[in-house]
Amino acid sequence: MLDRLVYADWEDPPEAMAFEASYEEVLAELRVLLPRVIEGRDAALASPASMPTPYWDDSLRLYLLAPALVNVALNYKICVEQGLPLHPTYYFEVSERSRFQAHYPPAVLRHANAIFQGSIRAARAVYALRDSAVAELEDFERDLPEILEGFVYMSTKDRYTWRASNPRWIRALADHVLASFQPALVVGAAHGSIMSGLVFANLVDAPLYFVRFSMFKRNDQDPILAPSDLAHLEGFRAGPALLFDEDVAKGTTLTRFEQVMRPLFDVAHTGSVLRHTLSPCRPEFVGHAWND
């Protein structure tokens, strides 16, 4: 729903995309923005020209801010599961040398996974602009550990992530997929796929999960899979799963993501919002092909 209320230049990312904020600040701003956007939702859909400019600014800000819920929760989960220090600003590279510097009790591990899955539900509720979204966000906040409030979300003006967040192309991908099959699960390669993945999963009405795989920004050699991830994904083994990345240029990320993730499902397909026409990687489902 929120994707229908965002008007922007989808070629170049807006200045508003570059920001950093603590998790506490993100949640506080969402508490302000979300009720305002929901209150004007029906009027904005019925008569866009009648809405004041600040309403559209709020909608864009909400679109940019909600992915922080998942991004930070995933980082926290990675730190706990991989035995990394709980650092508020640093996204660690995960390697044999860096792992298991710290040890966390099983209850903390379980809680970190619950927070992560709760963050996906809360972010999807925000993007759906459900009447219950404010209450769902409050429920998510209620059980957060105090240390997580200080974790910092950093967003940069990434041109291709922004282009792949264009609702027009996400809808095109959703239409393409649904014309062929109904996903039992969408699995996104995070962090880049979070924004578009939230929109896409709502459009196809499918469960959503993210696995960190950041080859170029975090030097991940493979998707970062913990036993908890494998246990969760096992519940969807029959598929069909959609293995998702927001854009494909060289295709290195999605190619490796598919190699590692496809064996976890009986039936799996690949999809991306954008694909460069010269890319050697050819996802089965694409929203839009582009070239420079």
Q: Do 250 and 232 contact (CB within 8 A), yes or no?
A: no
Domain that holds residue 213: 160-290
Instruction: Clarify whether residues 127 and 171 are in a common domain.
Output: no
> Is pLDDT of 193 > 70?
yes
Q: Span 174-185, mean pLDDT? A: 98
Lowest-confidence range among 10-14, 81-85, 180-184, 195-199?
81-85
Written in H, E and C, the secondary structure of the chain is CHHHHCCCCCCCCCHHHCEEEEHHHHHHHHHHHHHHHHHHHHHHHHCHHHCCHHHHHHHHHHHHHCHHHHHHHHHHHHHHHCCCCCCCCCCCCCCCCCCCCCCCCHHHHHHHHHHHHHHHHHHHHHHHCCCCHHHHHHHHHHCCCHHHHHCEEEECCCHHHHHCCCHHHHHHHHHHHHCCCCCCEEEEEECCCHHHHHHHHHHHCCCEEEEECCCCCCCCCCCCCCHHHHHHHHCCCCCCEEEEEEEECCCHHHHHHHHHHHHHCCCEEEEEEEEECCCCCCCCEEEEEECC
At 20, which amino acid appears? E
Instruction: Clarify whether residues 99 and 240 are in a common domain.
Output: no
- Given this model, what pLDDT does residue 221 score? 81
Instruction: Clarify whether residues 216 and 247 are in a common domain.
Output: yes
- Given this model, what pLDDT does residue 192 score? 86
The domain boundary, picked from 139, 155, 171, lies at 155
Distance CA 50, CA 245 (A): 36
Task: Provide the percentage of residues in the chain whose pLDDT is more than 90.
Answer: 76
- Given this model, what pLDDT does residue 249 score? 82
> Is pLDDT of 170 > 90?
yes
Mean pLDDT of the residues in the chain: 92
- Given this model, what pLDDT does residue 1 score? 81
> Is pLDDT of 86 > 90?
no
Does the predicted TM-score (pTM) go above 0.85?
yes
Instruction: Clarify whether residues 69 and 208 are in a common domain.
Output: no
pLDDT bucket at 242, cuts 50 / 70 / 90: very high
> Is pLDDT of 91 > 70?
no
Task: Supply 167's token pair.
Answer: 């609702």
Q: Do 286 and 176 contact (CB within 8 A), yes or no?
A: yes
The domain boundary, picked from 155, 180, 196, lies at 155
**What CATH number is associated with residue 280?**
3.40.50.2020
- Given this model, what pLDDT does residue 76 score? 94
Instruction: Clarify whether residues 145 and 43 are in a common domain.
Output: yes
- Given this model, what pLDDT does residue 216 score? 54
In tens, the pLDDT along 276-288 reads 877 778 888 999 9
Distance CA 251, CA 284 (A): 13
**Domains of the chain: total:** 2
Instruction: Clarify whether residues 168 and 137 are in a common domain.
Output: no
Instruction: Clarify whether residues 180 and 129 are in a common domain.
Output: no
pLDDT bucket at 270, cuts 50 / 70 / 90: very high
The closest of 157, 126, 14, 155 to 63, measured between CA atoms, is 126
Q: Do 8 and 60 contact (CB within 8 A), yes or no?
A: yes
> Is pLDDT of 58 > 80?
yes
Residue indicated by tokens 């489902």? 285
Instruction: Clarify whether residues 198 and 274 are in a common domain.
Output: yes
